[in-house]
Structure 1
């Protein structure tokens, strides 16, 4: 009968619980609290600046869940490559708001008509644009995620220079 094998030792004694706890022990509060707080604040600021730059550049790692994915990127590029009536709705609404305060009621009424006309035209433009976008997405991706049309329509109604993530394509360019 063969002799039972013995596992080799690790070459040092097993540390006691007291030794392990002493090795792990750290102070709860740093020695210089003011310097630690300043260092933490600087690190957080650096992280925020990196995230902000990544978001502006459209880097997927820094995008929120709403903006992630190839279909959302395609929708952003599709909207950004076109002229949309909706992006001027806010500007015209503010101008028309001032017109509403004119003493002449006819001018105020025309201001209301302009706001309504632009809203209707903007909605029709968004529906037509997102319908075409969905058709192109079906050709490229097959199945289209739910909510992509709404995402694209809301982007079409925001002013181009205020959009986040920033537009990656110029007007007139084809989306990638």
Structure 2
């Protein structure tokens, strides 16, 4: 019987398929070593802190990007879901008196520092008037939002939705996070599933 020696053995050839992975399958020993290396916990506190910092940085980057684009996968829990997305779009599509608040505050301050008692009275009246308009707007927002949520999401829980909507409406539009995805007056879709 004829035996081949180890030196006579033909080297293994790798045949690459058109749809193959392009590299040979690792041996069991190599695969186990790679798995151990991936599962190895950091040995020192310094390595552990570096790993956590890197993971936090990546998570924060994804969340910041999601806040700009509205990507549901990486949004914080308080902003996730079709109900919250509808509330954001509904608030962003309507005009709010809060948009006028900052310019009127500046005007009121200018009138207050003028030294003229009559102008200061006009400034104070203007300020109280706009605050009253904002309060009325918030109450109207609450009732309209409840009606819209009951119509669009009859089975969804609405706990906390009013607070979420009011807090979003009290911010200037360019400062809202997640960034507004609709324009003022834009028609909203009927379904948010």
The verdict on a shared fold, with TM-score over 0.5 as the criterion, is: yes
Given that 2:63 and 2:76 are in contact with CA atoms closer than 8 Å, whether structure 1 keeps it comes out as: no
Instruction: Tell me the residue number matched to 2:120.
Output: 108
Given that 1:86 and 1:126 are in contact with CA atoms closer than 8 Å, whether structure 2 keeps it comes out as: no
1:25-174 equivalence runs, <5 A: 28-29=43-44, 44-143=56-155, 144-174=157-187
> How much has 1:50 moved relative to structure 2?
2.1
Given that 1:86 and 1:158 are in contact with CA atoms closer than 8 Å, whether structure 2 keeps it comes out as: yes
Normalising by the residue count of structure 2, what TM-score does the alignment of the two structures yield? 0.65
Q: 1:44 to 1:26 in 2, by over 3 A?
A: closer
| Structure 2: tracts of 5 or more residues without a match | 1-38
> How much has 1:62 moved relative to structure 2?
2.5
By relative contact order (CA 8 Å, sep 6+), the higher-ranking structure is 1
Normalising by the residue count of structure 1, what TM-score does the alignment of the two structures yield? 0.71
Name the SS for the 1:66 alignment partner.
Answer: helix
Deviations 1:6-30 (A, max 9, x none): xxxxxxxxxxxxxxxxxx9877239
Q: 1:40 to 1:137 in 2, by over 3 A?
A: closer
Task: Please provide the CA RMSD for this pair.
Answer: 2.7
Provide the rounded CA distance (Å) in 1 between the counterparts of 2:89 and 2:164. 12
Provide the rounded CA distance (Å) in 2 between the counterparts of 1:101 and 1:126. 30
Given that 1:89 and 1:157 are in contact with CA atoms closer than 8 Å, whether structure 2 keeps it comes out as: no
Provide the rounded CA distance (Å) in 1 between the counterparts of 2:159 and 2:42. 51
Q: 1:40 to 1:146 in 2, by over 3 A?
A: closer
Deviations 1:116-161 (A, max 9, x none): 1111111212221331222111011115512212221221121000
| Structure 1: tracts of 5 or more residues without a match | 1-23
Runs of 4+ deviating beyond 3 Å: 24-27, 39-47
